Amino acid sequence: QQQAEEDSRHDARAGHFMASDNDKEESWKAILFPDGKVQIGWLTLSLIVVVILVTVWSGFNFTSSFSQKFFITQIVLLNGGVGWKSGFSEICSGQVWRLWSTFFLHTGWSHLLGNVFWLAILGNFVEKRHGPLTLAGMLFFVQPLTSLFQCLIRGPFFTGMSGSLAFLFAYLWLRGVLSPQLRIGLHKYVIWLTVVWQALVFSGVMGHAGQPAHAAGLIMGFGWASITANVEKWKAQKAEN
């Protein structure tokens, strides 16, 4: 009988530890993934793969003919710096892909891994809640605008998707507040971490990062969330009448 009681206590302790492990597992899933399920949408995953392949293939050599195709305009090396042609001559001559191509090229491993992480979180939330077409439409709309704004303020020597990520964050945050029925559900830890990330960018601690692109992305993301939430509200009211 004593042995049976000890076995019972041992099983109870084991069950407690297993439950604790499961709770922790569910916790991080709930923080990072919609509905607490470790699933990444096919579009988000495809973008991540292409971004990694392009950046790795570039070898972080931004003067190579391969890398030059991903800048918004062609970069030329000058004495101790870089230069470029004014007026977006390449885009005006038909190389319109340059409006989107900066999305795929990154300046270093930390830049690449950081942006891939945020794309996996924010892009996945949009894709899971609204579908891949909405995510594609958002990125197609915002990437050129943030790139142009960044170029006009700081010049064309920039890469990455930070402006688009700022847009996705601003949209998800405000839309979750304005339309709780959508259950967008960005976890508070994700919101806090993103706010800290944006604060570091704008403070200059991270150097001359893409502050103009970040600012443009945040403004457009908040605007998109406000417009779509109000349109949805208007449609609901109209349907009731």
Catalytic residues: 162, 214
Torsion of CA 208, 173, 161, 155, to 10 degrees: -40
Matching residue, tokens 């995953």: 45
